[in-house]
Amino acid sequence: MMRSSLTLLVNAPLEEDQRKRIRDLGVRLLDGLSEESLRVAEVIYTTRIPFEPRQVPRLRWIQLNTVAVDHILTGAMATTGIRIANVRGAYSVAVAELAVGAIVALSRRFQSAHSLQLQNRWPDDFTPLKGENCYGKTLSILGYGSIGRHLARIVTGMGMRVLACKRCPERKKDKGFYLPNTGDPEGLFPEEWYGLSNIGEMLSISDILVICLPLTPETKGVIGPSELAKLPRNAYLINVGRGEVVAEEPLLDVLRTRRIAGAALDVFPKEPLPTGSPFWGLPNTIILPHIGSFTREQGHLAGEVLIENLTRDLSVSPLLNLIDPQRGY
């Protein structure tokens, strides 16, 4: 069974070649939010939801071009029953690669080497530049979604041991969107699986902790003082998920006192990070301005999820990446 037609309202960047592919599917494209375009739209491609349910009487589903959905869950549209999909999986390669770069930068003392470069100086003493191999280390992934799964794929090839923690560790497979030859949809890479209830056991044996969790009521502050205290002194913490998943003051304390070796932070509870934040001055911390998914390919990959879901809808197949407002992702 096939659906004969569909009207798509585009309210996010979409490449011209992708527009052509969508038209070739028999989809009618409209651009820009107006009273009339909202009234006739059956699908809307957007970053945010600046419209009310009463304005979209024919709307069947929304395709976000973002992975994060916490910004739309408090709006009226989240309670209507209209399906909302995100682009989980489209940006996973970029974010996972950034995490790997941060791990290598910390473990091989890139910051110290860069400091010398800024001084036009070759080191007299190489000791501060002596790093550690990634090979043989234990990397724990908190939030084994599409980002964590691609990270696991990369670091397994580097000879690292992978541990995974997720809300339902018994559900090892993932049926979301994946780019070809990426990720771990079958859940094959982790040697051990943990739930949030026994996360402390995982943290205590982690050389590197990478946080990939979305922000939900359940995940807010899930890494607090007691969890940070369980990390070994040689551990690195990488956060590419959401800033509020980690309690900020306890994290600042363990970094200042070198209770852990260092951190790379791409997300913060308050963004932009205030100029007076003490995180800026920590020599064992890499600060990134929330650029995990910010690559030249970002918009194109989001459009690929849209095209996949349009194709599925026209063939009356289940959509990918539908969010659950109750779970918050």
**DSSP track, 82-125:** -EEE--TTTSHHHHHHHHHHHHHHHHTTHHHHHHHHHTT---S-
CB atoms within 10 A of CB 54: 8
Residues of the chain within CATH 3.40.50.720 domain(s) are 6-90+296-314, 92-287
**CA 88, CA 322: separation in Å to the nearest integer?**
9
CA distances from 10 to 28, 35, 68, 80, 241 (A): 10, 14, 19, 21, 27
CA distances from 305 to 78, 86, 98 (A): 20, 8, 21
Residues 6+ apart with CB under 8 A from 54: none
**CA 85, CA 321: separation in Å to the nearest integer?**
5
pLDDT digits (tens, 9 = 90+) for 182-216: 999 999 999 999 999 999 999 999 999 999 999 99
**CA 210, CA 245: separation in Å to the nearest integer?**
12
Report CA Rg, the chain. Answer: 22
Name the fold adopted by 6-90+296-314.
Rossmann fold (3.40.50)
Please report how many Cα atoms fall inside a 13 Å half-sphere around the Cα of residue 225, on the Cβ side: 3
Q: Does the pTM of the predicted model rise above 0.85?
A: yes
pLDDT digits (tens, 9 = 90+) for 240-268: 999 999 999 999 999 999 999 999 999 99
**CA 152, CA 160: separation in Å to the nearest integer?**
9
Task: 293-298: list long-range contacts, CB under 8 Å, 24+ apart.
Answer: 293/67, 293/91, 293/94, 293/95, 294/94, 295/94, 297/94, 298/90, 298/91, 298/94
Per DSSP, the three-state class of 153 is helix
CA distances from 265 to 5, 97, 105, 249, 272 (A): 45, 14, 12, 14, 13
Q: What are residue 141's DSSP bridge partners?
A: 164, 210
- Sequence letter at residue 235: A
**CA 288, CA 77: separation in Å to the nearest integer?**
32
Q: Which CATH architecture has domain 92-287?
A: 3-Layer(aba) Sandwich (3.40)
Give the pLDDT of the chain (329 residues) as one tens digit per residue.
677 789 999 999 999 999 999 999 999 999 999 999 999 999 999 999 999 999 999 999 999 999 989 888 888 998 899 999 999 999 999 999 999 999 999 999 999 999 999 999 999 999 999 999 999 999 999 999 999 999 999 999 999 999 999 999 999 999 999 999 999 999 999 999 999 999 999 999 999 999 999 999 999 999 999 999 999 999 999 999 999 999 999 999 999 999 999 999 999 999 999 999 999 999 999 999 999 999 999 999 999 999 999 999 999 999 999 999 888 88
Q: Which stretch of DSSP H or E encloses residue 162?
A: strand 161-165
**CA 79, CA 290: separation in Å to the nearest integer?**
29
CB atoms within 10 A of CB 204: 14
Q: Annotate 233-252 with b (16+ C-beta within 10 A) or e (fewer).
A: eebbbbbbbbbbbbbbebbb
